[in-house]
Amino acid sequence: MDDITPWLFFIVVGLVGGLVLFVRGLVAYRRDRLISSVATSSLDGIAAGEVRVSGIVEPIEQTLISPLQSKPCVWYRARVETTGKNSRVLMSEEKSQEFRIRNETGEIRVVPRGARWEIGTVYDERTSLLGSEPAGLKRRSGAGYAAWVDRDPEKMSELEREAAAQALLQVHHPVANEPTDDWADDVGGMGVYFSNQGGRRYREARLKPGQTVTILGQAWPWGEVHEVLLTFNPSSNIETDIAGDIAYARQTGTLAASPEEAWGNAAIPGFGIGMPTAQPELDPDVEAPEVPRDDVHQEALEKYDIPDEELVLSRGLRGGMAIYAGTPQAATQHHDFAFMIGIIGAVMAVICALALGAIITGTL
């Protein structure tokens, strides 16, 4: 018995670890069965309710810029942490925006708030032994958003073509990659690396334009989704606070009647890049920019005007929303590995439970 006692710790750890793996395997199995049970819907005949759709990611007017590699995307999750004795998280950030998915049958707008992102990490690197930064690290030094211009001439408006032409003709001078955040200070040098701070690990996952995705979610009329977005968020009360502020502003008569009244020139599409689609109100001494024809302004406004009856893809009040990288076939196999690990965990838990029982009863 005394010889067996030291193994009790390992048996208990194995039992607990096996149960944890088994539970995670059951969750993976449930998610696999959930996405497998819904057939892929055609975008030109989609109906309200739970749907599974697949297509190519297309940004809507702008993209996010990822913080670690400065890549355009519609969602990213980035993390920077130290790897020494006193390891700590220096930066953890996740952000998404609305986008479209398109295939040969049509397109649909995706409102991904509250979604579960099953997107793998595309960048996972560490500082070198001497503390130098890893290859491929290009910290974001400017704005977190960038205008998106579709390079297909058939889809580009006159304003977009002009902006693309100017971007190609502009000379861009290289600039130093200056740190803009506390976490971005250089590790620098062997002395720092071997201190308690240690090195750093950089990880980033993102969903980029042109990538194929499969989404399981709810097709809702935009009018209903727009109301729910201001009152429902499973992890935060920010939207509820905004809804309260809007209601208060309506009651007190301080709510602006239009974006133009609230934001002035900033409500004009293209104003921020010096190419407004309508004449802005400027100081008389300022040279007025050239404004395109009226239909360009109307075209720009219509891109942000979503009819209440238009179906968009979102999460439901009860059902969640999952976004997988790849085709439907890849999505249905996404959790297979986790499920197999769960089976191994179950076997390990059973063996440890039998061993523990044998020790307690004295039969071993």
Per DSSP, the residues of 238-293 read: HHHHHHHHHHHHHHHT-S-SSHHHHHGGGGSTTGGGT--SS-----TTSPPPP---
Asked if 315 and 309 count as a contact pair (C-beta separation under 8 A), the reply is no
Q: Return the half-sphere exposure (C-beta side, CA atoms, 13 A cut-off) of residue 321.
A: 22
- Quote the pLDDT of residue 100: 92
Nearest alpha carbon to residue 267 among 277, 259, 278: 259
Higher model confidence: residue 323 or residue 168?
Answer: 323
- Quote the pLDDT of residue 231: 53
Going 350 to 355 to 361 to 364, the CA torsion angle's sign is positive
Secondary structure element (H or E) that encloses residue 158, with its range: helix 158-169
CA 266 and chain centroid, separation: 26
Q: Which of 75-89, 234-248, 261-275 has the highest mean pLDDT?
A: 75-89
Average pLDDT over residues 144-165: 60
Higher model confidence: residue 248 or residue 37?
Answer: 248
- Quote the pLDDT of residue 317: 57
Q: pLDDT per residue over 266-325, tens digit each?
A: 878 777 767 788 888 888 887 888 787 777 777 777 766 788 888 888 886 556 788 989
Confidence bin at 228 (pLDDT 50/70/90): low
Res 243 pLDDT > 90: no
Quick count: other Cβ atoms within 10 Å of Cβ 311?
Answer: 20
- Quote the pLDDT of residue 3: 58
For the entire predicted model, the pTM comes to 0.67
Which tokens go with 59?
Answer: 């940004």
Res 73 pLDDT > 90: yes
- Write down the mean pLDDT value for the chain: 76
Q: Which of 51-65, 98-112, 133-147, 237-251 has the lowest mean pLDDT?
A: 237-251
SS3 76: strand
- Quote the pLDDT of residue 123: 95
In whole angstroms, give the CA distance from residue 267 to residue 264: 6
Q: pLDDT per residue over 170-222, tens digit each?
A: 454 444 444 444 555 544 444 444 444 568 999 999 999 999 999 988 888 88
Confidence bin at 163 (pLDDT 50/70/90): low
- Parallel/antiparallel/unpaired status of strands 72-73 and 75-82: unpaired
Average pLDDT over residues 240-247: 63
Largest CA distance in the chain: 96
Cβ-count burial 226-243 (b if 16+ within 10 Å, e if not): eebbbeeeeeeeeeeeee
Nearest alpha carbon to residue 331 among 52, 46, 104, 45: 52
Res 343 pLDDT > 80: yes
Using a 10 angstrom Cβ sphere, with 0-12 exposed, 13-18 middle and 19 or more buried, the burial of residue 98 is middle
CA 88 and chain centroid, separation: 23
Token pair 């890849």 in the structure block, residue: 330
In whole angstroms, give the CA distance from residue 125 to residue 62: 28
Q: pLDDT per residue over 99-149, tens digit each?
A: 999 999 899 999 998 888 989 899 999 998 887 889 999 999 887 888 776
